[in-house]
Amino acid sequence: MRISLRLILIASVAACAPMLPEAPPVTAVAGTRTPAPVAPDGPAPATPAPAVIDQAGFEGWKQGFLSRHGGARRAEYEHELAGLEPDPSVIRLDRNQPEFSRPAGAYVQSAASATRIAQGRARTDRVPWEVTQRFGVPTEILVSIWGNESAFGAIQGDYDVIRSLATLAYEGRRRDWAEAQLKDALDIVLDGRRDRAGLKGSWAGAMGQTQFMPDNYLRLGVDQTGDGKVDIWGSDADSLASAANLLAQAGWKRGQSWGYEVVLPAGFDYAEAEGPRHDWRYWSGRGVTLARGGAPNAAEAQEDGVILLPQGARGPAFLALPNHYVIRRYNNSVSYALAIGLTADGIAGKPGLVATWPDDAPLSRDQRLGAQRALTALGYDTQGVDGVVGANTRAALRRWQIAEGRLADGYLTADLADELIRRAG
């Protein structure tokens, strides 16, 4: 069956959501949330049951928000929030983020597709020379983010940003974060930076061609065109310069890659993956080699890197350098950061991966939650049960694998999730 490109893109933008930082810290830059608008692999997952909304509870939250954050603007905030109802689709989408439910290979291969790479190459001339010189972020990285965030501005999301953020704050999973973003969104409107009707974005509140959250728009938005406003919705130049500023402020290292595909030797201690950082001398001394041969450049070789196994010991392995974690300030997901890096590599004309991705089944929300509960019950705390299989969950799984005498790659498959759930009763 043929699916229209626009429907695919709209569905993908609907899949974006903000993350709490879990990556090793780079700088105090709040990450934005971002989509990867590409065609899904295989059949679509079953649609979760709609979230149940308690309007009275929402009104109670709203009064609490106004008390906590209203201050001198309480009456103005109350006016903007009058008659607002929470959006059940926002809660449903927040609980089913593709970066954390789909296998990394399926996500990356879709996001870093040959079509996306070709489209990116055709748009490299849209990045102002002054932007790359000022901020030091390569053109291919900026174009890769642009394409993955909004299909180069074509699909930016049509959710009411204020309603989305109010819904996320009411839901409560990340209330402090969502309320701070909501306050910034209200200020954008009240200060005349953007009218309410035009404050549209993803279901998670990310806005414009490069999907900035409200706080980043206020702090890091760049008026590249010099027309007196930061227009990340209509101006390519403002959007790309703002993204470059975010990455530069997060610590982007000029002249360095985000990382490399590597080959691990027989007998490699997989428990070292996502562990302490080490320089290239350390990793090469343990038999790690670049998949395409050669070595990192002199500056990169001095940096501390981390071995990543996004789909376990059976999938590709990567040496993640500091710029990988800078990308994760945009979206704190290993899959997302790899997609951006590999798309950028393709745009720059570098060859693709040597290793192939395993064809693993996706994890259901029940499996993700169940595995987290099981690990915690078995004595391996995942630092929360939220259905997001991030670094804390992978670390807990690795500890369990070591205790069980298994290969400790920290990769949660559907079968392993089911086993953990059975073991925990």
Least Cα distance to 148 among 259, 288, 16, 4 occurs for: 16
What is the rounded average pLDDT of the residues 160-171? Answer: 96
- Tell me the β-bridge partners of 262: 290, 317
Is residue 154 within 8 A of residue 164, CB to CB? The reply is: no
Which tops the pLDDT comparison, 43 or 213?
213
User: What are the tokens at 22?
Assistant: 């879990």
Question: Which pLDDT score is estimated for 48?
Answer: 42
User: What's the CA gap between 222 and 184, in Å, rounded?
Assistant: 17
Chain centre to alpha carbon of residue 129: 27
User: What are the tokens at 255?
Assistant: 């002249």
Least Cα distance to 34 among 45, 19, 49 occurs for: 19
What is the per-residue pLDDT across 17-39, written as a single tens digit (0 to 9) for each? 333 333 333 333 333 343 444 43
Question: Which pLDDT score is estimated for 40?
Answer: 33
Chain centre to alpha carbon of residue 411: 19
Name the 3-class secondary structure at 160: strand
Residue 194 has pLDDT above 50, yes or no: yes
User: What's the CA gap between 387 and 101, in Å, rounded?
Assistant: 8
Helix axes 74-81, 55-69, angle to 10 degrees: 160
pLDDT tier at 173 (50, 70, 90 boundaries)?
confident
Name the 3-class secondary structure at 261: strand
User: What are the tokens at 251?
Assistant: 């610590």
**pTM here?**
0.85
Least Cα distance to 145 among 391, 339, 4 occurs for: 339
User: What are the tokens at 94?
Assistant: 């927040």
Question: Which pLDDT score is estimated for 97?
Answer: 64
Is residue 304 within 8 A of residue 278, CB to CB? The reply is: yes
pLDDT tier at 291 (50, 70, 90 boundaries)?
very high
What is the per-residue pLDDT across 210-234, written as a single tens digit (0 to 9) for each? 999 999 999 999 999 999 999 999 9
**Residue type present at position 392:** N
Residue 54 has pLDDT above 80, yes or no: no
Task: Tell me the Ramachandran region of residue 133: left when phi exceeds 0, alpha when psi lies from -120 to 50, beta otherwise.
Answer: alpha
Give the CA angle between residues 331, 332, 334 to the nearest 5°. Answer: 105
Question: Which pLDDT score is estimated for 45?
Answer: 38
User: What's the CA gap between 425 and 423, in Å, rounded?
Assistant: 5
Q: Tokens 């080699």, residue?
A: 289
Question: Which pLDDT score is estimated for 425?
Answer: 85
Question: Which pLDDT score is estimated for 239?
Answer: 98
User: What's the CA gap between 141 and 11, in Å, rounded?
Assistant: 24
Name the 3-class secondary structure at 39: coil
Is residue 180 within 8 A of residue 215, CB to CB? The reply is: yes
**Residue type present at position 59:** E
What is the rounded average pLDDT of the residues 305-322? Answer: 97
Least Cα distance to 280 among 325, 334, 323, 321 occurs for: 321
User: What's the CA gap between 186 and 217, in Å, rounded?
Assistant: 12
User: What's the CA gap between 267 and 172, in Å, rounded?
Assistant: 44
Question: Which pLDDT score is estimated for 99?
Answer: 58
Give the CA angle between residues 208, 209, 215 to the nearest 5°. Answer: 45
Question: Which pLDDT score is estimated for 47?
Answer: 40
Phi, psi of 14 (to 5 degrees): -65, -10
62 HSE (CA, 13 A, CB side): 21
What is the per-residue pLDDT across 249-290, written as a single tens digit (0 to 9) for each? 999 999 999 999 999 999 999 999 998 999 999 999 999 999
Residue 42 has pLDDT above 80, yes or no: no
**Residue type present at position 355:** A
What is the per-residue pLDDT across 352-394, written as a single tens digit (0 to 9) for each? 999 999 999 889 989 999 999 999 999 999 999 988 888 899 9
